[in-house]
Amino acid sequence: MFPSRIDVQLRRARWPHFFLIFALLPALAALSSCGSSTTPAAPTISISAAASSVSVNGTVQFTAIIANLSSTLVNWEVAGVIGGNLATTGSIDSNGLYTAPPTPPTPNNVVVITAVAQAQTSLTATSNLTITPPATITGITQTPASANVVAGTQVTFNATFSSGTGIGVNWFINNSPTCSSTLGTQNGLVVVNGQNTFPFGQMTNQGVYTAPVIPPPGGAIALTAVSQADSKQTLCVPVILAFGNKSLDGAYAFSTNGRVISTNAFFARAGRFTAGSGAISGGLETYNEVGQGGATQHTFIGSYNIGADGRGVMLFCEDTSASNCSASAASVFFKVAVISAQQVQIEEFSAPGSNTAPRTASGQMLLQEPSVFNTAGLSGAYSFDFSGILTGTTQLSMVGEFSANSQGLITPSVISTIPGILDINNGGNLSQAQISGTSSYSINSSGQGSATLLTNDPTFPNLAFNLYIVSASRAVFIESDGNAVVAGDAIKQQNSSPCAWGTNSLNGSAVLQTNGKSASGSVTDLIAFTANGTGAATAGSNDENNAGVVSSGNSLGGAYNIDSTAGQCGRGTLSLGTPASHSYVFYMISTSSAVVQETTAGIVGHGFLVKPQTGSVALEPLSSFALSLAGTNGAGANAKRKELLGQFNVGSTGSVVANAGGSFGSLDINNADGLGTTQSIALTGGAMTAGSRALLSLTSAGPTTQHFVLYQVSPTQLFVMGIDPAPAGVALGSLFQQF
């Protein structure tokens, strides 16, 4: 159908209007823009800090916030320097962590931290930060507060600061009784042969200090707190360390010998026990007394209490079913002086009111090695020194050697073609015997054993012993049969080659210590000489106390010989004096030691020969020594047994000085006066000289002064002998530096 005429006319009319509207569009758009418009926002930057001030070497975190920029990354500046300068104004890393300098900047202790937008470097923000001086350590507190830190116990130390607590410190320990510029080692750590050790105690980072079981020389340490914020900020305090019950811990073998006061009968005891925290358990001992027909064995428990200076008391309750040992129930009493965790000197006495016979004796305790508690624990050649009484008052000395095959038999070995050899001095009568290959021994899992030495000597054909092993190198022996009462030690020879001993085995300086008895009374000697390796002994010095007749400083030379034949390998003889006034037989233990028997006419004696170690006894501002002596209370043949055990303190000049507790030292004396109780005597002074031959005087209230001569054998031990003439007694022993 064709459109109508009217429709065509209408369409013609619309087209002119359309073109008119199109032409007006730009104008309409312009009119619209005049009514509203949009402008982009300007970029901004802001900075914030976790704190407005910080101590030197401290840190503060800064944060920068950027808006309206394509990147939010910033560069950090300190005082206009990118990254800053740690030494002067501090430094800041790319993450905004600021580290303060070691000292506040001048002039006003303020630094300016700037954040610079990386996308628009003209966009910056700043913040002021005050650098405060370091907090100073104002004090060190101790919990619990006490005068001494006792062996093995813990104490907590806290450092306080001028700006309050909570600022960290590092702890250093110096083995010194006084503070100095030397810090020592951090936390007390000392590396020895690749192993971490803490000889002066151990400190944790939190300030918990554990004291060593044995105080170091001087009995004190210097403890220093060093600020973690500023290592220049330190504070030192001296800490006094003390012995205590934890100074003894483990299995010990012990031995003593002495006299029952009422009868003057000689007795010996030896045994073993376990010590810990003041209690003694698992005790077993062998007791043998002249005239009692042989040894008896006793089980026991006990207790001990060690004082700050290492002196203390130890009690045994024998053959009891009780669970603890009280003083009223104890049957054996000791005074003790701790030398180290491995060695303790002991003095036996009878407490007032005790129902046991009063007695006086001395000896020692030695820490055992339980790993050798078996028959194989004895293996190789051993030199021994046994002494005591045959019957009545007849002195008896036996020295020699035997070879243990680790399986319970005494047999020939690479050291000797015979099982063993024995030199006997029986009341002045000398003889030598061979030990049979049918001799035997055994050791149980508790470290206790027995040994039978069969000999060709008609007086001693069968010697039975109980033994208590200390280590693979040492065992304590006590005769258990009814023939005699002797006791002593067997020490392993340090020689594995077939009879490598010879005269050249003894070469260089040597010190000889012997004690014995003659018809006149007790005799003690300290002798120093030099062996030339070929049999000549060059004159040295000799100090002797012969029944109260004292001779000092005499020079004695002579000759010696050491057998190299397989049957008597390591057996030596020595004569000193011109003409010979001293003669001896000895058995080598090592090139620096031997057991000795005196064979001088009319004397029965025994002792030890050592090659002194190099290095002198070092006297610190405060050095602590333990003294142990055995002898008589008079000079004549009828003098009674007397023991002396104690401790004293020496300063760097050799004068006897007071320790931090005000004590110069104390001596416990057991004088066979019919009571058997000990008398404790406080020292008031004295002096000690240094050198290979030195002198010692100890003064107590009264005043009473005792004099001694000292021969050094190591930097921590000296042989000591009383040199006061009659009517003073005769005494010999050792002086030990406590450590």
Give the domain CATH number at 92.
2.60.40.60
Which is nearest to 128 in space by CA: 51, 187, 183, 75? 51
Q: Token pair of 55, please?
A: 């101590």
Which is nearest to 410 in space by CA: 431, 383, 380? 380
- How would you classify the pairing of strands 53-55 and 124-132? parallel
Half-sphere exposure of 628 (CA within 13 A, CB side): 24
Q: Return the HEC string of 517-546.
A: EECCEEEEEEEEEEEECCCEEEEEEEEEEE
- Are both 150 and 229 inside the same structural domain? yes
Distance CA 607, CA 609 (A): 7
Q: Which of 217, 242, 267 lies at the terminal end of a domain, its last residue?
A: 242
- Are both 154 and 81 inside the same structural domain? no
What is the tally of structural domains in the chain?
3
Distance CA 594, CA 719 (A): 15
Q: Is residue 201 in a domain? A: yes
- pLDDT tens-digit map of 657-698: 998 788 999 999 999 888 888 999 999 999 999 888 999 999
- Are both 153 and 92 inside the same structural domain? no
Distance CA 359, CA 507 (A): 42
pTM above 0.75, yes or no: yes
Distance CA 716, CA 738 (A): 8
- Are both 697 and 731 inside the same structural domain? yes
In the chain, which residues have pLDDT < 70?
A: 1-37, 164-167, 414-415, 496, 498
- Are both 309 and 351 inside the same structural domain? yes
pLDDT given at position 37: 57
pLDDT given at position 568: 87
Which is nearest to 342 in space by CA: 369, 315, 316, 363? 369
pLDDT given at position 166: 52
Domain that holds residue 58: 44-132
Give the domain CATH number at 191.
2.60.40
Q: Is residue 56 in a domain? A: yes
Q: Which of 109, 132, 155 lies at the terminal end of a domain, its last residue?
A: 132
- Are both 359 and 250 inside the same structural domain? yes
129 Cβ contact partners less than 8 Å away, ≥ 6 residues apart: 49, 51, 52, 53, 54, 60, 98, 110, 111, 112, 113
Q: Which long-range contacts (CB under 8 A, 24 or more apart) does 533-539 make?
A: 533/503, 533/504, 533/506, 533/507, 533/508, 534/503, 534/504, 535/503, 535/559, 535/560, 535/561, 536/560, 537/574, 537/576
Residue with tokens 């064995």: 297
Residue with tokens 């305090």: 237
Region class of 147: left (phi > 0), else alpha (psi between -120 and 50), else beta: alpha
- Are both 166 and 80 inside the same structural domain? no
Which is nearest to 385 in space by CA: 373, 397, 374? 397
- Are both 681 and 731 inside the same structural domain? yes
